[in-house]
């Protein structure tokens, strides 16, 4: 503002009254265009960053963690590409953070705050109509070349035109991008109406212009990318393993955001095609840790000698983010699931109480909606005034019980709840299906009501078979087809299924990724996570609203309104919610005592017995 005052004073001294007035208007306009703009070390979606500009390390990292050793991952599935930025192929996902960096990095103790990484500072205004990143002059790619503004612009254009659907969607919102100097990039966001977009751009992976062939970028490759991150791809065994080794010249090892992270000299990623074989390999010590998702296995599967002796440690971590939730997903692209009455009926038929008692030892709870266990969830809560105003244009499609605090039906746990069965058959009859003896048939075509449930793990198969028994009582006889993880992923990404089990993990700051999960534009775009094929104007409008929210209260109301719109669509059958993370690790791996808000972070772990960092 001081600069504009000096400009105004000079003009007042030398010009007439009319020109002075024009100069005054110009100064005000220029000042307003940068209102609230301030160069900072970090940026938060709402509120202020928790860590000050002079912070030394993150509270969930041990700055004195020793360096050295190897961490071996055991990953279920396979791969045929080292490029995680395209739809084609099955990519090695850890390449994204261990090899390729972004302008900013997440603070994992906050809902959505980013701190300087490749960019040492970020600047935006109150309206978030632009964002400017100033690169750290020390930043280097692994081949020694500096990271420059031209690399940032190149990455933005490349991913906007050739990247994954979410990248194309996000980066197309930028009105203009320019580099005022070799270490500065400015993105003009005018008209985007998206307050999250500066942070989304901050998380953009930065690729070297000099080392990427645009013509072949969308093809799968087993050549390791040139990145600026702490590791480089050292060895590849196609479909079986990838070895990452620490870059001894890594430019960012002393940054506060990195202190206490990336402590292993080597990261080995071993792939297993079958879940039981993967677990057996862990028991033999062939990889170092596993995140357990099967309660039966967690309950009684860790009785092998190494677990009994303490060589294998079991950690239970309770993160502060919304509880990951498992669902049976209807593919509404299929005619059999296009009618919402059918989807509601099948939701009534699932006997969760029986499944939870018999298969999960009562370890799970069940919540409708997609933000379970957090303040963002609409489940069981009456809508507030802001939510009702947001959803008013769509009132006809939001049932009153969803607005008043919807709760899932509870069965008697017998597997033979006749009240729920009668209600389901009534909905199915309204949708055009009648019982013909013991077979439910389409009233017009006489075709039996049948569909395929696609599964890939033992736990999924058990649930599918239990649901199959529930459905048989209504004359429905679905088939359960078990496939390997590779085929499951391929069919899921191409939407070639009737019903699958899926899990969505949410943060405390949902944003643009919600379009990717259930936005209308994503429904027919292979590779998104809109597996159910939702095309709902109410859902789209609520995502718009949460992105435009300027304060936390308005944001929470918008997210809850989104939750209500999704619940109203009955796109899924809620299965269960996971309130804890179950981590098993061999005692040769150690971790900090503090746990991040987001939960476990392997990048903060270290190898036992290594000399202490200096």
Number of Cβ atoms within 10 Å of the Cβ of 610: 16
Give the angle subtended at the CA of 202 by the CAs of 527 and 523, to the nearest 5°. 20
Q: What are phi and psi of 338, to 5 degrees?
A: -75, -25
In order, the DSSP letters of 145-202 are: PBP-HHHHHHHHHHHHHHS-HHHHHHHTT-SEEEEEETTEEEEE-TT---TTHHHHHH
DSSP characters for 520-532?
GGGTTSTTSS-TT
Give the CA count within 13 Å in the CB-facing half-sphere of 419: 6
CA atoms within 13 A on the CB side of 27: 18
Q: Give the H or E element holding residue 25.
A: helix 17-33
CB 349 within 8 A of CB 473: yes
Helix, strand, or coil here: 510? coil
Residue 7 reports pLDDT greater than 60? no
Domain borders along the chain are 2-33, 325-577
Token output for 74 = 């055991």
pLDDT digits (tens, 9 = 90+) for 520-550: 999 999 889 999 999 999 999 999 999 999 8
Classified as helix, coil or strand, 150 is helix
456 vs 454: CA distance, rounded Å? 7
Asked if 62 contacts 592 with a C-beta cutoff of 8 angstroms, the reply is yes
Are 577 and 323 contacting, i.e. CB atoms less than 8 angstroms apart? yes
Cα–Cα distance measured from residue 325 to residue 506, given in angstroms and rounded to the nearest whole number = 9
Task: Look up the pTM and report it.
Answer: 0.79
Least Cα distance to 562 among 601, 603, 511, 614 occurs for: 511
Question: Other CB atoms closer than 10 Å to residue 499's CB: what's the count?
Answer: 26
End-to-end CA distance of the chain: 45
Rounded Cα distance between 543 and 569, Å, is 15
pLDDT score at 611: 66
| Spatial CB neighbours of 307, under 8 Å, sequence gap ≥ 6 | 314, 584
Domain 325-577, CATH class in plain words: alpha beta
Higher pLDDT: 584 or 192? It is: 584
- Assign 9 to helix, strand or coil: helix
Q: Give the separation between CA 214 and CA 517, rounded to whole angstroms.
A: 28
Contacts of 277 (CB under 8 A, 6+ apart): none
Asked whether residue 12 carries a pLDDT value surpassing 80, the answer given is no
Instruction: Check: CB of residue 288 under 8 Å from CB of residue 71.
Output: yes
CA-CA distances (angstroms) from residue 483 to 89, 489, 502? Answer: 18, 10, 15
The alpha carbon of residue 232 and the mean position of all alpha carbons in its chain are separated, in whole angstroms, by 24
What pLDDT score does 1 carry? 38
106's tokens:
């997440």
**pLDDT at position 36, please?**
57
The burial of 469, by beta-carbon neighbours within 10 Å (0-12 exposed, 13-18 middle, 19 or more buried), is given as exposed
CB neighbour list of residue 580: distance below 8 Å, 6 or more residues apart: 316, 317, 318
- Residues 457-487: tens digit of each pLDDT: 888 999 999 999 999 999 999 999 999 988 9
pLDDT band at 612 (very low <50, low <70, confident <90, very high): low
How far apart (Å, rounded) are the C-alpha atoms in residues 244 and 109? 27
Q: Per-residue pLDDT tens for 288-315?
A: 999 998 878 888 899 999 999 999 999 9
For residue 23, pLDDT over 50 is answered with no
Pairing of strands 266-272, 70-76: parallel
How large is the average pLDDT for residues 101-127? 97
The encoded tokens of residue 192 equal 């985007």
pLDDT confidence bin for 20, thresholds 50/70/90:
very low
pLDDT, tens digit (0-9, with 9 covering 90-100), for 359-375: 887 878 898 899 998 99
- What is the SS3 assignment for 232-283? EEEEEECCCEEEEEECCCCCCCCCHHHCCCCCCCEEEEEEECCHHHHHHHHH
Tell me how far apart the alpha carbons of residues 482 and 453 are, in angstroms, rounded to a whole number.
9
Residue located via tokens 């075509």: 445
Contact call for residues 62 and 596 (beta carbons, < 8 A)? no
Q: Which helix (H) or strand (E) holds 548?
A: helix 537-548
The Cβ-side half-sphere exposure at 446, using a 13 Å CA radius, reads 1
Nearest to 35 by CA among 12, 4, 11: 4
With beta carbons less than 8 A apart as the criterion, state whether 165 and 528 touch: yes
pLDDT higher than 80, residue 19? no
Q: Assign 92 to helix, strand or coil.
A: coil
Segment 588-604 shows an average pLDDT of: 95
Interval 4-24 mean pLDDT: 39
Note the residue count of the chain. Answer: 614
Contact indicator for 475, 424 with CB cutoff of 8 Å = no
Q: Are 107 and 248 in contact (CB under 8 A)?
A: no
- Mean pLDDT, range 437-444, rounded to an integer: 96
DSSP state of 554: H
pLDDT (tens digit per residue) in 250-273:
999 999 999 999 999 999 999 999
**What is the per-residue pLDDT for 210?**
98
In angstroms, rounded to a whole number, what is the distance separating the alpha carbons of residues 366 and 326?
Answer: 9
């Amino acid at each position: 503002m001081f600069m504009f005052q000096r400009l105004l004073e000079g003009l007042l001294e030398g010009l007439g009254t009319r020109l002075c007035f024009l100069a005054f208007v110009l100064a005000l306009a220029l000042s307003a265009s940068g209102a609230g703009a301030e160069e900072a070390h970090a940026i938060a979606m709402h509120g202020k960053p928790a860590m000050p500009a002079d912070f030394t390390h993150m509270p969930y990292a041990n700055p004195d963690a020793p360096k050295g050793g190897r961490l071996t991952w055991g990953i279920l599935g396979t791969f045929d590409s080292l490029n995680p930025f395209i739809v084609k192929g099955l990519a090695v996902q850890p390449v994204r953070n261990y090899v390729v960096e972004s302008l900013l990095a997440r603070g994992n103790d906050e809902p959505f705050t980013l701190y300087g990484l490749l960019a040492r500072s970020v600047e935006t205004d109150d309206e978030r109509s632009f964002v400017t990143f100033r690169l750290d002059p020390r930043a280097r790619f692994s081949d020694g070349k500096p990271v420059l503004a031209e690399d940032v612009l190149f990455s933005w254009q490349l991913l906007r035109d050739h990247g994954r659907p979410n990248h194309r969607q996000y980066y197309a919102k930028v009105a203009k991008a320019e580099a005022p100097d070799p270490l500065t990039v400015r993105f003009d966001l005018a008209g985007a109406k998206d307050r999250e977009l500066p942070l989304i751009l901050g998380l953009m992976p930065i690729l070297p212009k000099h080392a990427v062939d645009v013509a072949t970028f969308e093809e799968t490759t087993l050549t390791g990318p040139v990145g600026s991150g702490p590791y480089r791809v050292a060895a590849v065994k196609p479909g079986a393993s990838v070895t990452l080794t620490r870059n001894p010249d890594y430019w960012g090892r002393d940054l506060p955001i990195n202190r206490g992270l990336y402590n292993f000299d080597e990261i080995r990623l071993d792939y297993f095609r079958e879940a039981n074989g993967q677990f057996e390999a862990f028991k033999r010590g062939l990889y170092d840790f596993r995140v357990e998702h099967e309660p039966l296995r967690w309950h009684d599967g860790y009785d092998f000698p190494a677990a009994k002796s303490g060589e294998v440690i079991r950690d239970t971590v309770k993160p502060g983010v919304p509880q990951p939730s498992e669902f049976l997903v209807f593919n509404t692209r299929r005619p059999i699931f296009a009618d919402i009455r059918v989807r509601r009926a099948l939701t009534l038929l699932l006997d969760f109480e029986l499944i939870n008692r018999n298969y999960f030892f009562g370890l799970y709870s069940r919540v409708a909606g997609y933000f379970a266990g957090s303040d963002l969830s609409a489940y069981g809560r009456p809508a507030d005034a802001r939510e009702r105003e947001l959803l008013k244009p769509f009132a006809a499609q939001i049932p009153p019980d969803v607005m008043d605090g919807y709760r899932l039906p509870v069965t008697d746990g017998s597997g033979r709840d006749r009240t729920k069965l009668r209600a389901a058959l009534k909905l199915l009859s309204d949708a055009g299906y009648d019982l013909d003896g013991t077979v439910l048939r389409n009233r017009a075509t006489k075709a039996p009501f049948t569909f395929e449930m696609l599964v890939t793990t033992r736990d999924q198969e058990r649930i599918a078979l239990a649901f199959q028994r529930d459905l048989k009582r209504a004359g429905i006889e679905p088939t359960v087809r078990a496939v390997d993880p590779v085929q499951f992923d391929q069919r899921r990404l191409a939407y070639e299924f009737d019903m699958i089990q899926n899990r969505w993990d949410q943060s405390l700051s949902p944003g643009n990724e919600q379009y990717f999960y259930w936005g209308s534009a994503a429904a027919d775009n292979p590779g998104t996570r809109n597996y159910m094929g939702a095309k709902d104007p109410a859902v789209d409008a609520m995502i718009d609203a949460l992105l435009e929210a300027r304060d936390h209260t308005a944001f929470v109301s918008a997210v809850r309104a989104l939750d209500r719109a999704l619940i109203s669509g009955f796109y899924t059958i809620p299965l269960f919610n996971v309130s804890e993370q179950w981590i098993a690790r061999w005692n040769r791996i150690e971790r900090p005592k503090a746990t991040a808000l987001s939960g476990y972070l392997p990048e903060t772990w270290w190898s036992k017995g290594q000399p202490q960092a200096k």
